[in-house]
Amino acid sequence: MRALLPLALLASLSACGMKPLYSNGTRGAVATTLGDVAVAPIQGRAGWLVKNALDDKLDALSNGNQRYKLQVVLDDKITGFGLLANDQVTRERRTLRARYQLVDIASGETVLDATAASDAGIDIVSSEYATIAAENRALENLSLEIADQIVTRLSLFAREVSAAQ
């Protein structure tokens, strides 16, 4: 009886309707579509960080056939809050937002238009160097988060396209 319980649980998992996103590994529909994406240059330091993160994730799947171009526009803001009695800022929030479009190179048609956003809190300390270092580190982390969000959304798009075909 105890041996049948794990088998019954395993059989119930197949009926849950979940499908792996990256099925068939690098030969699957999602991986091959992601491999067809070329990332256009992105303005600014944040753009350089996001582009490098996207290239790291997408170039591993690249097959040399660039079917899509990913265009990204970033909005990077630092807002001070947490004021002391003398109007000195004690905390900052760094927000990085991305609007990205996936364009079919052959037709010029935008096939995906979406946004991604992330933010981080930064403590303002007495050392200006430490504050600047914290702001830079926050930007690096936010860039990685934005790239992850974009690749996840591109993966879902690729799965939708492959299901429709």
The arithmetic mean of pLDDT across residues 69-85, rounded, is 90
The arithmetic mean of pLDDT across residues 83-90, rounded, is 80
The yes-or-no verdict on residue 147 having pLDDT over 90 is yes
- What per-residue confidence (pLDDT) applies to 11? 62
The arithmetic mean of pLDDT across residues 98-116, rounded, is 97
The arithmetic mean of pLDDT across residues 92-105, rounded, is 96
- What per-residue confidence (pLDDT) applies to 31? 77
pLDDT bucket at 94, cuts 50 / 70 / 90 = very high
CB 149: neighbour CB atoms within 10 A?
A: 17
Query: Inter-axis angle of helices 44-58 and 128-164, to 10 degrees?
Result: 40
- What per-residue confidence (pLDDT) applies to 151? 95
Q: Mind listing the domains of the chain with CATH numbers?
A: 23-164 (3.30.160.150)
- What per-residue confidence (pLDDT) applies to 73? 98
| Cα→Cα distances 51→4, 59, 144, Å | 51, 11, 10
- What per-residue confidence (pLDDT) applies to 30? 79
Q: At 98, which amino acid appears?
A: A
Give 112-140 pLDDT, tens digit per residue: 999 999 999 999 988 999 999 999 999 99
The yes-or-no verdict on residue 33 having pLDDT over 80 is yes
Q: At 151, which amino acid appears?
A: V
**Interior/surface letters 33-56, b for 16+ CB within 10 angstroms, e for the rest:** bbbbbbbeebeeebbebbbebbee
